[in-house]
């Protein structure tokens, strides 16, 4: 079955500390994975996608097929990173399979 798991509902770290938001997936083929972010009172938006191998706002995510993971990382957290983060996997017909989300709180 296709599934995305984000084991942490809430993650709280201090400003300047490293951040890692975990995402594990279950998929039989070659996965297309995404991270979306929703800042307070803003619309949900694409943060990055594995196919682009990009770094956005200092965040990176590496696909680990052996561990079926796509963790989101940032070496030094900033207060403006506080948001809700969703990991998603593309299924058939461009449908996305979503994780339950992780609320990231950056403490000053």
Backbone angles phi, psi at 52, to 5 degrees: -90, -15
Q: How far is the CB of 76 from another protein (least distance, A)?
A: 26
Return the structure tokens found at 5.
């798991």
Q: Please say which residue, 87 or 106, places its beta carbon nearer to another protein.
A: 87
Q: How far is the CB of 85 from another protein (least distance, A)?
A: 11
Of the candidates 20, 44, 35, 42, the residue with the CA atom closest to the CA atom of residue 90: 35
Tokens 């191998």 locate to 53
Of the candidates 88, 78, 11, the residue with the CA atom closest to the CA atom of residue 48: 88
Q: How far is the CB of 94 from another protein (least distance, A)?
A: 4
> Interface residues with another protein (CB under 8 A)?
6, 9, 32, 34, 36, 42-46, 49, 51, 86, 90, 93-96, 98-101
């Amino acid at each position: 079955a296709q599934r995305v798991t984000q084991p942490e509902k809430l993650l709280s770290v201090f400003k300047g500390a490293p951040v890692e938001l975990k995402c594990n997936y279950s998929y039989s083929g070659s996965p297309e994975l995404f991270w979306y972010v929703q800042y307070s009172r803003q619309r949900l938006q694409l943060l990055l996608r594995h196919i682009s191998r990009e770094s956005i706002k200092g965040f990176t995510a590496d696909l680990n097929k052996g561990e079926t993971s796509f963790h989101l990382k940032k070496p030094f957290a900033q207060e403006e990173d506080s948001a809700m983060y969703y990991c998603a996997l593309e299924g058939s017909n461009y449908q996305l399979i979503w994780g339950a989300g992780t609320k990231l709180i950056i403490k000053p």
